[in-house]
Chain A
């Protein structure tokens, strides 16, 4: 089955700097890769997603890149702000299943 690894587990940056979180997946059939942001005690919120027919997608300060050959995908946050502080989860799934396999999460702290 699918296995998703996520690094780093914690990430501290200064406000205004960029943050990058990386994930790798094992199942070559995976074709959908969402990213969720979860604040303490709250629901995971979808912030961006990418499908396997696209290599990069951007939404304002957030971008996601996908390397299908290497089975890597990454989240990039530019001009970080304190309100970006949260736990971020990557996930992967394939067309054959609706199941999302989540990474272990990255705790991002943005210091003013």
Chain B
């Protein structure tokens, strides 16, 4: 159980392109989804937290107009990197959790999306 699907797994595109990444919880309803960015050999950096039906909460230093997050349903959240540039190249990972069981619940991660901007 607790499977999170993320796609695409790998994107290469030209500078200025907008890229959409999808994150789906396949067998549970995710009340909260999280988006992380991970540079090589570094830890996961939280970018934003999204709750179904409400606006995402962005971490300090993360541009909300650059990284658009939509959490339209309890099973789907999307991250759109708008007008991507080479410095946006990174490994983006989503995770999902559910408070329906009460209290803190584990976050379950997607496989990640490796984004390369040329």
A42 within 8 A of B: yes
Q: Contact at A43–B104, with CB atoms within 8 Å?
A: no
Q: How many Å lie between the Cα of A101 and that of B49 in the bound state?
A: 12
B99 within 8 A of A: yes
Known pairs A98-B97, A99-B46, A102-B43; A42 contacts B104 (CB<8 A): no
Q: Contact at A98–B46, with CB atoms within 8 Å?
A: no
Q: Contact at B104–A102, with CB atoms within 8 Å?
A: no
Interface residues on B, range: 20 to 34
Q: Contact at A98–B106, with CB atoms within 8 Å?
A: no
B-contacting residues, A23-80, CB 8 Å: 31-32, 34, 36, 41-46, 49, 51
B12 within 8 A of A: no
- Of chain A, the residue at the smallest CB distance from B114 is A41
Q: Contact at B44–A98, with CB atoms within 8 Å?
A: no
Q: Contact at A43–B44, with CB atoms within 8 Å?
A: no
A100 within 8 A of B: yes
Known pairs A32-B104, A51-B104; A43 contacts B97 (CB<8 A): no
B79 within 8 A of A: no
A to B CB contacts below 8 Å, 6 in the list: A34-B106, A36-B109, A43-B93, A98-B97, A98-B99, A102-B44
